[in-house]
Amino acid sequence: MKIYNFSPGPSILPKEVFEQAAQGVLNLNGSGLSILEISHRSRDFTEIITKARDLVRELLDVPKNYHILFLSGGASTQFLMSAMNLLPSNGTAAYLDTGSWSSKAIKEAKPYGNVDVIASSKDRNYAYIPKGYKAPSEALYLHLTSNNTISGTQFHEFPEVNIPLVCDMSSDIFSRPVDVKRFGLIYAGAQKNMGPAGTTVVIIHDELVGQSERILPTIMDYQTHIDKDSMFNTPPVFPIYGSMLTMQWIKDNGGIAAAAERNEKKASTLYAEIDRNSLFDGVVDKEDRSKMNVTFVMRDVANEAAFIDAASEAGCMSIKGHRSVGGFRASIYNAMTLEGVEKLVYVMQEFERANG
């Protein structure tokens, strides 16, 4: 039976990447050594991290006045590291609260300066993206989460503000074109569209480096990692290798524009069935629906377990919704095929025939 992995993360990766990474674990580039054992100072790894950095710059059209880093600690570390580096103790930063991850970013930033939460969708369990807000003129940046994996919402247009945007793009980076010039800082954990869990890409404008004026722990200072080309300490070697392979796969398959087209087709196919099927309802406002994490519920909750069983029997795995939302969540990142989405749609249709 063919398996379709709808996990929100760590998530599906391309089969070609699995095969290449497996070969690299056994014998990297014919060296006789594994990617798991080579020195991060070796020529082989230097070429890998350089290529990974070049692919980020090429795929996202990152201008030369931005630094690209590969760090440890996931997006959760960036919640506080971004504030430590960008927000002076007497300064103000604006934040949008659109879900679990943005609320955690807000919590982590508060010890380092004034955090102004200018809009929130918590009143409806994060079922929409707030609109009609204004960023305070004194704010040094506006922080947002581009895609919300738990609730299933996504910014389809980014705010027009006169201050730098700081954005957690962990769950939709490389899924669609982004005008990097509109952002002061972008960070993203790898375990959705970029590669295996364990590294985080950071894209930061050179004017934002050293902005906080506070004394920082050496490893928490972006300048440290810029000066050392992301190798101040031993970097997450294998996740960077896997990310490089995944980004090369994206490039080989038409780049970001082609990925966005495929993702649009997958999302529209699944949402159309949710809206048509008499047994299911979407969770979030239609205009804010995520193209990465599709959330929906069953009108009769008594049938939820049976539907999950039916999906699993058909090879559609990991569709159970987050406990804070309930229902179901189908994560359809870059590597998920249209065939996989159509399989899930078929299961929904068959379940309706049997239970409608």
Give catalytic residues, as residue numbers.
Answer: 101, 168, 192
Kindly state the tokens that stand for 239. Answer: 């996740």
Helix or strand holding residue 97 (H, E)? strand 92-97
Query: 17 with 179: CB under 8 angstroms?
Result: no
Please, what is the Cα angle at 10 between 289 and 293, to 5 degrees? 10
Evaluated on CA atoms 321, 325, 326, 328, the torsion sign reads negative
Burial (CB count within 10 angstroms: exposed 0-12, middle 13-18, buried 19+), residue 272: exposed
Amino acid found at 105: A
* Structure letter (DSSP) for residue 148: E
Residue 183: CB atoms within 10 Å: 24
Per DSSP bridges, beta strands 165-168 and 139-145 are parallel
Please, what is the Cα angle at 315 between 250 and 20, to 5 degrees? 35
* Number of continuous H segments (helices) and E segments (strands) in the chain: 9, 14
Q: Cα–Cα distance between 179 and 183 in angstroms, integer? A: 8
With tokens 């939302």, the residue in question is 325
Question: First and final CA of the chain: distance in angstroms?
Answer: 27
Beta-carbon contacts of residue 72 (< 8 Å; ≥ 6 apart): 198, 199, 200, 233, 235, 236
